């Protein structure tokens, strides 16, 4: 990532919590109470994916109405999206992959960013460009903990947020790796809980996720 999170005691989104919730907002009315439940449970960094028509408005609402939330935008794939979400209040950016054009846009946005990688060559290319923090995606399909463990020795300067297929059972295995700062996932947001607007349940699941660490014990 290129710069610290503004007004944050941590220098990186990777250090805010062991888990970054990956959020898909279908109903704008859910954005604020959902984010409040996640923050109350100890997960302040919230990645809202740009997969729905209300995603940008959800980022704007969370940024403006949820104290303690560090809201970011996920599935960012174009420079126009970078500009739009930063204007809406996104404090970090996450992409599933990267190109030079997208990387330039994220770098000049003024907010931290996690470009997506799934190969060693992509990691080396980003390191050449001065980027040391990355999203590893799709984590399970791309080799999981074994792949990241293999990268740690030759490329110790790279740090990752693995996302894709990770749950509460596998998260501690990722968090045990020296090159993993946090993981991304959505298991604390089960569809039935969101549909029922059971924010107490979401908060409880978030609290359990916030307590995860290497070996599955509380940090």
- Distance (Å, whole) CA 217 – CA 93: 29
Task: Indicate which residue of 133, 135, 173, 203 is catalytic.
Answer: 135
Q: Is 84 a catalytic residue?
A: no
Residue 204: how many other CB atoms lie within 10 Å:
16
- Distance (Å, whole) CA 205 – CA 61: 23
Q: Which residues contact 95 (CB under 8 A, 6 or more apart)?
A: 74, 75, 76, 77, 102, 106, 113, 114, 115, 116, 135
- Distance (Å, whole) CA 91 – CA 182: 17
Q: Are 22 and 49 in contact (CB under 8 A)?
A: yes
Reduced to 3 states, what is the DSSP secondary structure of residue 215? Answer: helix
Q: Is 149 a catalytic residue?
A: no
Q: Distances in Å between the alpha carbon of 46 and those of 13, 32, 113, 117?
A: 10, 11, 13, 20
Task: Indicate which residue of 47, 133, 173, 203 is catalytic.
Answer: 47
Q: Which residues are catalytic?
A: 47, 135
């Amino acid at each position: 990532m290129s710069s610290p999170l503004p007004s944050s005691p941590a220098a990186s989104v990777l250090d805010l919590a062991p888990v970054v919730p990956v959020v898909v907002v279908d109903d704008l009315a859910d954005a604020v109470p959902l984010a409040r439940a996640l923050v109350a449970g100890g997960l302040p960094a919230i990645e809202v994916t740009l997969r729905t028509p209300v995603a940008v408005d959800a980022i704007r609402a969370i940024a403006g109405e949820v104290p303690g939330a560090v809201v970011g935008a996920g599935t960012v794939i174009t420079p126009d999206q970078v500009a739009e979400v930063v204007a809406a209040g996104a404090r970090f950016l996450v992409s599933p992959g990267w190109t030079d054009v997208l990387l330039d846009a994220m770098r000049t946005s003024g907010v931290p960013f996690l470009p997506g990688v799934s190969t060693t060559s992509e990691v080396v290319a980003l390191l050449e460009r001065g980027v040391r923090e990355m999203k590893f995606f799709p984590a399970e399909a791309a080799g999981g903990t074994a792949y990241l463990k293999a990268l740690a020795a030759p490329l110790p300067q790279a740090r990752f947020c693995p996302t894709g297929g990770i749950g509460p059972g596998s998260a501690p295995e990722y968090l045990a790796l020296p090159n993993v700062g946090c993981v991304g996932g959505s298991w604390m947001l089960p569809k039935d809980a969101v549909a029922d607007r059971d924010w107490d349940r979401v908060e409880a699941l978030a609290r359990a996720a916030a307590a995860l660490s290497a070996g599955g014990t509380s940090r």
